[in-house]
Amino acid sequence: MTEEKNDLIEQKHKNLQKLAEAGIDPFGESFSGIRSIKELKDNFTEGEKARIAGRIMARREHGKSAFMDVKDFTGRMQVYMRKDVIGEEPFETLKAVDIGDIIGVEGELFKTRTGEETLKVNQYKVLSKSLLPLPEKWHGLKDMETRFRQRYVDLIVNDEVRDKFITRVKLIQHLRNELNGQGFLEVETPMMHPIPGGAAGKPFKTHHEALDMDLYLRIAPEIYLKKLLVGGFDKVYEINRSFRNEGISIRHNPEFTMIEVYQAYSDCEGMMRLTEELIRTGAREILGTEKFKYQGRDIDLSVWKRVSFAELMEKNFGIKKDDPLKEWVAKLKKKGIEIEGDKVSKTQILNIVGELVEPETETHPVFVVDIFKELSPLAKEKKGSPGIVDRFELYMGGMEVANAYSELNDPIDQRARFEEQARLDPEAMVDEDFIRALEYGMPPAGGLGIGVDRLAMIFTDSANIREVILFPHMRPE
């Protein structure tokens, strides 16, 4: 901590004491009946009385008067205080009020000689005393790690960061409104599962003391949502938090947000149409256009392409759908792909494909179709294409943002796939309750998962997933 910062902190504590000596409790007041600054500015009426509250971001003193910039969630407004209006003692107390403090002010709207919309104050209250100084013009908080760790400061001083999260909120609202309008039902399913499933990924493990059983934070809500299809809920979705006990990168956070959608009597093609519709209408509603830039590359949502996974694997690595997994490993290693040990995970394979299709996503979204059955234990096989499932992965801006397929509803086939998984992976488990649910009969259906964080990255032109997660996981300080 610099000497200058120490001096500022010391001065703030002295000012806290001065307020106490003046009989002011800077943490004990409320201030109701306020209006937002944006609302006042949008409907500005000179002479109108108003109350606002917010954080002091700047102040200028001129003898017996003072100007301050007060910022609330919606914007900034200049406030003007005169000694002969607010009173001698409150004006003197104003000397103990610092930049960063939160105040409530009441007064009358007017415009200065330069035309600036201002509130002439007749009384004020100190609502919260800041005891740490804000970074001056962001000089003190440029480090990305510090910004993510101290998001509260990031939001105070960086309007661009606040706007990104407003866009994220609008995106989630759009997805919810669009699905509700199409007759989908929003549901909630458990976040602790007795068996990890619904996607490939390493789970977080916990233990329930009362039941004396191990549980897993959900990797995905898929299994429970498909049980609802069995129960007769034909169109359901969940905006869910899911967890993967894996690495952290610019595109991965161990806790992330997905929206999963399931529709009875639909299929992969139906989910493809729904995905395109949700994203295109979202871009028009939130960004005002279907053509925009993401990290320097053009994104044009008016054209959606398809690329065959099976063709890419054969063309680039000589891997065919009937090849055993150990042959995949040998052929991938031969092409210089780094694989630890003698096994290749499904996630690794799909990441490799992501790199292959990245040039294809330079401008347009790309559906990767014709994916191998071994990589999709919950997807229905494509008619007339043994070893290939009716599935797609959507890539935009060089990364995967959605995944969908025609859901497997054959309990006999599903059991065989689970057992094969368990044979290859000692940690995999056969989900007997899910198979039992399928045995009661699940209608043919399409299922879709969209990564909300990654779509928010694209809509806000953010290179790092932590830019669109309010409180991303960080290493201890």
Quick: pLDDT tens for 209-246.
Answer: 999 999 999 999 999 999 999 999 999 999 999 999 98
Which pair of structure tokens corresponds to residue 50? Answer: 């108003």
DSSP state of 87: -
pTM: 0.91
Residue 440 is predicted with a pLDDT of: 98
Least confident of 8-17, 279-288, 336-345: 336-345
Element containing residue 15 per DSSP (H, E): helix 3-21
Cβ count near 285 (within 10 Å): 14
CATH of segment(s) 153-468: 3.30.930.10
Which pair of structure tokens corresponds to residue 242? Answer: 């899911």
3-state secondary structure of 298: strand
Once rounded to an integer, what is the mean pLDDT over residues 298-327?
89
Q: State the DSSP string of 130-148.
A: --SPPPGGGGGG--HHHHH
Q: How far is CA 324 from the centre of its chain?
A: 38
Nearest to 401 by CA among 251, 226, 269: 251
Residue 247 is predicted with a pLDDT of: 81
Once rounded to an integer, what is the mean pLDDT over residues 137-156?
77
Which residue type occupies 380?
K
Distance CA 124, CA 94 (A): 10
Residue 436 is predicted with a pLDDT of: 97
Once rounded to an integer, what is the mean pLDDT over residues 165-171?
98
Residue 138 is predicted with a pLDDT of: 45
Residue 144 is predicted with a pLDDT of: 79
Residue 332 is predicted with a pLDDT of: 83
The residue extents of the domains of the chain are 3-134, 153-468
Which pair of structure tokens corresponds to residue 10? Answer: 């010391």
Nearest to 199 by CA among 453, 393, 436: 393
Under the banding of pLDDT at 50, 70 and 90, the label for residue 171 is: very high
Once rounded to an integer, what is the mean pLDDT over residues 18-45?
96
Bridge partner residues of 264 (DSSP)? 445
Once rounded to an integer, what is the mean pLDDT over residues 78-100?
96
Beta pairing, strands 445-451 & 399-406:
antiparallel
- Token look-up 């063309």 returns 315
Query: Where do the H-state alpha helices sit in 138-241?
Result: 144-149, 151-157, 159-181, 222-230
Least confident of 197-211, 310-324, 346-360, 398-412: 346-360
Q: Give yes or no for residue 271 having a pLDDT over 80.
A: yes
Distance CA 406, CA 448 (A): 9
Bridge partner residues of 235 (DSSP)? 263
Least confident of 25-34, 331-340, 350-359: 350-359
Distance CA 13, CA 227 (A): 58
Distance CA 393, CA 407 (A): 14
Distance CA 280, CA 274 (A): 10
pLDDT digits (tens, 9 = 90+) for 340-394: 666 666 667 767 777 777 777 678 999 999 998 888 888 999 999 999 999 999 9
Fold matches, 3-134 and 153-468: no
Higher pLDDT, residue 73 or 425? 73
3-state secondary structure of 272: helix
- C-alpha distances in angstroms, 52 versus 107, 162, 237, 434? 9, 20, 40, 55
- Fold of the CATH domain 3-134: OB fold (Dihydrolipoamide Acetyltransferase, E2P) (2.40.50)
Which residue type occupies 350?
L
Which pair of structure tokens corresponds to residue 165? Answer: 């999260």
Which pair of structure tokens corresponds to residue 222? Answer: 């898929």
Cβ-Cβ contacts under 8 Å for 5 (sequence gap 6 or more): 133, 140
Under the banding of pLDDT at 50, 70 and 90, the label for residue 137 is: low
User: Helix 452-460 to helix 159-181 angle, to the nearest 10 degrees?
Assistant: 130
